[in-house]
Chain A
Amino acid sequence: MVTGFLGPNGAGKTTTLRMLLGLVTPTSGSTLVNGVPYRSLPDPTRTVGAVLEASGFHPARTARNHLRSIAIASGIELSRADAVLDLVGLGPDANRKVGGFSLGMRQRLELARAMLGDPKVLVLDEPANGLDPQGIAWIRGFLRWFASSGNVVIVSSHLLAEAAQTVDDVIILANGRLVSHGPLQQLLRGATNTVRVRTPDATRLVQLLAESKEEVGRTRLEGQDTVVVEGTTPQVLGPIMASNAIIVYEMTSSGESLEQLFFQMTEGSQLGGGPIAQPWAPPVPAPGGSQ
């Protein structure tokens, strides 16, 4: 079971995960793992494996020694250090200093540390961040493998499309608040289909739809002759227009992409308050030109 923990940057994903792991104290409320706070778990490393940012290594310590120091503190046998290094494909680099590791290797070392206690739950904070496509595919494959044996994964991401390839359930967060949660499939079904109709009777069509018994979403006029109807399909609109003798020049139907849905749900939540779905635009030069 893989649960995606999604939200734009600054939504509070990392903070929430760190609260779950007892690293950050919530101002109110509580976070529980298996019914108890992380701090009260009798054997935290054997219960939850956590992959946070790809840091937390002494650069001059070797990968094996890094893992061994954690293993000793957790009461885990030293041989697990080599076992998890092999698991993440870092076996040949066990004696290398972490300072010389690439980001992808550090991320895998983090994963190896999380796997030291052979936990049943993995919590990952943006594990794909900064990785190349191969690295991302590798992480995805690892998580699938881990989850396939009945284990639980919680993985945060700010990229819904990226997460959609791995997750079963989603929790969407924006501005520190829960926006939506449920199975991914259900979320996708909720993704609205939009139909655009170009017609000389645009105004009348808008009025008709407002009065119609059929369930259609937001309707708006675009320019003189185009009506954009959200949350509907041509199969619904077609009969309405036919029975009201509305001339149609053009009708297009487009399914909303996952990303658009995500933008919509988390709209206006970006830190700083700017609109989130705006692509980058070059700055407008000041009138009068440069001097």
Chain B
Amino acid sequence: MTRLVRAEFYKLRTIWSTWVILVITMIATGGLGVVIGFAPHRRAVEEALFPARGTPAWFDDVFSVMGLATVLSLVLGIIMVTGEYRHKTITPTLLAEPRRGHTVAAKLVAAVGGGGVVAVAAGAMALALGFGLLAGGFGTSGIMLTEYRHVFPGILAASVLYAVYGIGLGAMLKNQIVALVVGLGFEVIVTPIFVGALPSVGRYFPSQAATALEQVAAAARSRGGAVFGGNLSHLLTWWEGALMLVVYGVVLAVAGSFTTLRSDVT
């Protein structure tokens, strides 16, 4: 199993998609962090909604852009499985390890590392941004680092689990375009509809589970709904969110191993 996981990491390292995902993660984190921190508020009512610059809540909002890492981890996880079918490298992969369950298991383990690396890329960028904000005269290093330490662990955990979820989606759907459309479509179309209309159901969806997980710090400090992202009262607790994401990833991956991935490779 160790060698299969090492092979998965090697494969990730030697395709450009991985590096593109990391670069996008960093650019998006830095760019959006600045936008969220300094978006002009036209009306007084808006001004009241947003925390004052340099405050803990403001740093929370800025650092919340690291949450982008989850979606990019999802893409990474999906590509790890569907890329093999797209480029037909699944044939040499299965010739080297004909037990398909082993191959999927190795991908799940490698995805943990992959999602972690994406989160670290976002985290590094956010930290750099944090120091930049300090240099610009916003807040103190004490406030900045405290907020960073509160937000980053949740993002890291959510990214790792999102990459695992991506493996599950890929294993289930096999086709790269379909898996990406379903995965991202669920994020940006289906989930908001349910969250708006049926939050009691919507809170079990992946992105809501991830948000719950990311709020671990905020919740611990009883600041729940006060952070950027509006009303979060419908969310699960952080460990329920984590559990949901594990279930999504593992259940889909196991189901995929027994259905889609079992099919003939021609």
Q: Which of A15, A21, A50, A59 contacts B87 (CB 8 A)?
A: A59
Cβ of B38 within 8 Å of any chain A Cβ, yes or no, is: no
The distance in angstroms between the C-alpha atoms of A44 and B93, with both chains bound, is 12
> Hey, what's the 0/1 contact readout for B240-258 against A, CB within 8 Å counting as 1?
0000000000000000000
Interface centre among A53, A68, A70 (most CB of B within 10 A): A70
A113, closest chain B residue (CB): B92
Interface centre among A44, A58, A65, A74 (most CB of B within 10 A): A58
B265, closest chain A residue (CB): A23
Interchain nearest-CB distance for A17 vs B (Å): 11
Cβ of B7 within 8 Å of any chain A Cβ, yes or no, is: yes
Interchain nearest-CB distance for B72 vs A (Å): 19
Interchain nearest-CB distance for B163 vs A (Å): 19
> Cβ of A70: which chain B residues have Cβ within 8 Å of it?
7, 92-93, 96
Q: How many residues on A have C-beta within 8 angstroms of the other chain's C-beta atoms?
A: 34
Q: A23-B94, A39-B98, A61-B15 are in contact. Are A56 and B3 (CB under 8 A)?
A: no
Q: Once the chains bind, are A45 and B88 in contact (CB under 8 Å)?
A: no
The distance in angstroms between the C-alpha atoms of A58 and B266, with both chains bound, is 17
Cβ of B264 within 8 Å of any chain A Cβ, yes or no, is: yes
Is the interface on chain B under 10, 10 to 19, 20 to 34, or 35 or more residues? 20 to 34
> How many residue pairs between the two chains, A and B, have CB atoms under 8 Å in the bound complex?
86
Cβ of B47 within 8 Å of any chain A Cβ, yes or no, is: no
Cβ of B141 within 8 Å of any chain A Cβ, yes or no, is: no
Q: Once the chains bind, are A60 and B3 in contact (CB under 8 Å)?
A: no
> Cβ of A75: which chain B residues have Cβ within 8 Å of it?
3
Q: Once the chains bind, are A22 and B15 in contact (CB under 8 Å)?
A: no
> Cβ of B93: which chain A residues have Cβ within 8 Å of it?
70, 73
Q: A18-B265, A23-B265, A55-B88 are in contact. Are A69 and B95 (CB under 8 A)?
A: no
Q: Which of B4, B10, B89 contacts A57 (CB 8 A)?
A: B89
Cβ of B91 within 8 Å of any chain A Cβ, yes or no, is: yes
Q: Once the chains bind, are B264 and A25 in contact (CB under 8 Å)?
A: yes
> Cβ of B94: which chain A residues have Cβ within 8 Å of it?
22-23
> Cβ of A66: which chain B residues have Cβ within 8 Å of it?
14
Q: Which of B7, B83, B262, B266 contacts A73 (CB 8 A)?
A: B7
> Cβ of B95: which chain A residues have Cβ within 8 Å of it?
21, 23, 44-45, 50
The distance in angstroms between the C-alpha atoms of A50 and B95, with both chains bound, is 8
> Cβ of A242: which chain B residues have Cβ within 8 Å of it?
none
The distance in angstroms between the C-alpha atoms of A56 and B90, with both chains bound, is 7
Q: Which residues of A come within 8 Å of B, CB atoms?
A: 14-15, 18, 21-25, 38-39, 41, 44-45, 50, 52-53, 55-62, 65-66, 68-70, 72-75, 113
Given A57-B88, A73-B93, 8 more pairs with CB closer than 8 A: A21-B95, A25-B262, A39-B99, A52-B91, A58-B83, A72-B3, A72-B10, A73-B7
What are 6 contact pairs spanning A and B, CB under 8 A? A24-B264, A61-B11, A69-B10, A70-B93, A74-B97, A75-B3
